[in-house]
Amino acid sequence: MKSTILPVAAAAAAPTVQTRGWPVLRLGFRPFYFGAAAFACLAVPMWLALFLGRLSLDMAVPRRVWDAHEMLFGFAVAVIVGFLLTAGKAWTGLATPRGAFLGALAALWLAARIAAIVGPYPLYAMLDLVLLPVVAAVLIDVLVRARNRRNLALAGILLLLSLSNLCFHLAVLGVISMPPMHALHAALALIVMIECVMVGRVLPAFTNSVTPGLNLRSQPRFEQATLALTATALLSWVLSAPGGFTAVVFGLAAAAHLRRQWTWRPAVTRSRPILWILHAAYIWLPLGFALLALAQIGWVGVSAGVHALAVGATGGLIIGMVTRTARGHTGRPLQASRAEVLAYGLVMAAAVLRVLLPIVAPQWLVMSLLAAALAWSAAFAIYLVIYTPWLLSTRLDGKDG
């Protein structure tokens, strides 16, 4: 009894000066995870209604690229920003934006999403282009001050994402002669690189920490070779290199990622959903690379590989990380509830319905799109129901953050 009461009493006696202000604006994951989940619930059904002609909107951005752009720079970037602003504080011990500054960043993100639908294109482009450079500057500042050079590459990728977004908007406006979708492919490639780097750091560590007796050893040379192959394959694809070369490199990258995951012993996580969802999502990376390799020789459409990376890998890793990190940073146990496990399964089902079903049964395309959209939206609706009260309230342990 004594050991239980003392920590509670200590927490109650702790100074409260650091927990000032609205809880939702105390750390970056709070507003951005909430915004990303809400956007995921609404944007996909809205795109589907537009695609099927059930909804007509005079949007600033062309409908054919609105969904692709907003899933990357609306949904995925919101999660990346929330994660990096939170991780940056953990990595360096230095403060990242909170309070009014964090609120302004979240408001900027939201304003761009609204302007895409109801505003003039120049306003939308201006709002959309500001967030990433500001966040990159914040991240660079705290990393340099803390002499944390290891993570500076992530800030560099944010700047490259900003450049790809600029190219997208200039292409839509006709300022540069580039198909806007090429810029979005570059953005997806950069997001995939972020995923490959971060998953390589956290997934073996997570698996080790919950498996007694397991000792997953780092293989630096193999890791470097895998990342180099991945970057080469994605760059070749984005730059439209000869199809044969790109197909071979994507095939090698797919094989490297399969071997990489095999060394992480994914089977030992089968009783821990909050961990196996990350392994399940990761398998979509080599699958996406394999599909993009096949697309280079005309066996499947490029869309299959793109959606394997965007829905299966990115969506799956996001639902896994926004549950795990939000639980950890709100002082809750790292144990997924049944509802969260259902959300994991729905995102994986959405990937299967969006990627694999159209390949084997193209005549069911519309049905597969409807089912995938429903599964995707339901997954993030579950997240909102569970996590909104947690994101808007103080940590259970009374700590800041």
Read off the pLDDT of residues 252-298 as tens digits, 9 standing for 90 and up: 999 999 999 999 999 898 889 999 999 999 999 999 999 999 999 99
Burial 83-117 (b: 16+ CB within 10 A, else e): bbbbbbbebbeeebbbeeebbebbeebbbbbebbb
**Residue 211 in domain:** yes
What is the per-residue pLDDT for 79?
97
* 324 contacts 274 by C-beta, under 8 angstroms: yes
pLDDT of 18: 53
In a domain? residue 65: yes
Tokens of 343: 């959300």
pLDDT of 16 reads: 42
pLDDT of residue 17: 39
Chain-centre distance for alpha carbon 251: 24
The CATH number that applies at residue 237 is 1.20.210.10
Q: Is 298 left (phi over 0), alpha (psi -120 to 50) or beta?
A: left
Q: Residue 218: what pLDDT?
A: 81
- Separation between Cα atoms, residue 30 and residue 44, nearest integer Å: 22
Residue with tokens 């304003």: 111
Q: What is the value of pTM for the model shown? A: 0.92
Per-residue pLDDT tens digits for 43-87 = 988 888 888 888 888 887 888 899 999 999 999 999 999 999 999
| Below-50 pLDDT ranges, the chain | 1-17
Instruction: Give residue 212's identity as a one-letter amino acid code.
Output: P
Supply the pLDDT for residue 2: 37
pLDDT of residue 398: 86
| pLDDT of the residue at 19 | 63
Q: What's the number of domains the chain is made of?
A: 1
Q: Evaluate whether residue 189 is within a structural domain.
A: yes
Please report the pLDDT score of residue 57 as a whole number. Answer: 84
| Residues in contact with 241: Cβ distance below 8 Å, sequence separation at least 6, in sequence order | 235
Residue 123 domain flag = yes
124, 116 Cβ separation under 8 angstroms: yes
The answer to the question of residue 270 being in a domain is yes
- Residue 4 belongs to some domain of the structure: no
DSSP structure class, residue 96: -
Q: Domain range spanning residue 286?
A: 24-389
Has residue 19 been placed in a domain?
no
The tokens of 81 are what? 């920003």
Please tell me the distance from the alpha carbon of residue 7 to that of residue 129, in angstroms, as a whole number.
46
